[in-house]
Amino acid sequence: MAQKTVNELLLDALIRHQTYLLRYSGSLRNRMNGMLARTEDTLGMLIRDKLRNATGLSSSSEVRRMEALLEAVTTLRNGAWVDANTFLLDEMAELGYQEPIHMSGVLQAVAPVVVETVLPPARQLRAIVNSRPFDGALLKDWAAGLQREDIRRIHGAIQLGMIAGEGSEAIARRVIGTNALRGTDGVLQMTRRQVEAITRTAVQHIANNARNDFTVENADVLTGEMFVATLDSGTTPVCRANDGKVFSVGK
């Protein structure tokens, strides 16, 4: 069997690394969702305690009771979101810093000669997280949006349950879901799905930008970049057409 070229070895290493990045984003998702999940027992207790013997919104006292509950829910979830979002931003900052170091190490490992590489400045890598938007917003704004939407959904479920005259147990199930379905039938499931989407997208955004910055810094070593697409039923026509094409560095 013919010995692989340096480019083929580099491609193999980067594909393996991409698999690891997908696993890493899954780990981030689990960690963030775990931080939020620790509030669920308390959230259920708050709903059951503060709405015990509630009769819907039939009086001003019931409205005040609901408002007190919504305030307590906001405080509880905001505390968890501060921890989760701080964790995400810190992890992404570290990923942006480590990705060029990994790229340099891969080049050193596959090249037949010693390759001198340059790492992008730390300030430039920090800007990937703090100053470069993806899908129209910065990562911190996406994180803040997740937090707002989560609390809005919980508030909406509580209000809807009270308007419908549901008891505290039914409202708690509306928010948290049932044990039989592992909570997937509650409004918190939407938050879990959104956390998964944002962690996966953020990891790819940060890693891609950090690698691009590394590539541009080392344009004297890397003569081009090949577009590599996963060719399956979900691949767009544009990606299919570009698969295998070689572009100038940074283009």
Q: 181-208, pLDDT tens digit by residue?
A: 999 999 999 999 999 999 999 999 999 9
pTM above 0.85, yes or no: yes
pLDDT at 170: 95
3-state secondary structure the chain: CCCCCHHHHHHHHHHHHHHHHHHHHHHHHHHHHHHHHCCHHHHHHHHHHHCCCCCCCCCHHHHHHHHHHHHHHHHHHHHHHHHHHHHHHHHHHHHHHHHHHHHHHHHHHHCCCCCCCCCCCHHHHHHHHHCCCECCECHHHHHHHHHHHHHHHHHHHHHHHHHCCCCHHHHHHHHHCCCCCCCCCCCHHHHHHHHHHHHHHHHHHHHHHHHHHHHHHCCCCCCCEECCCCCCCCCCHHHHHHCCCEECCCC
Residue-wise pLDDT tens digits, 114-158: 888 999 999 999 999 999 999 899 999 999 999 999 999 999 999
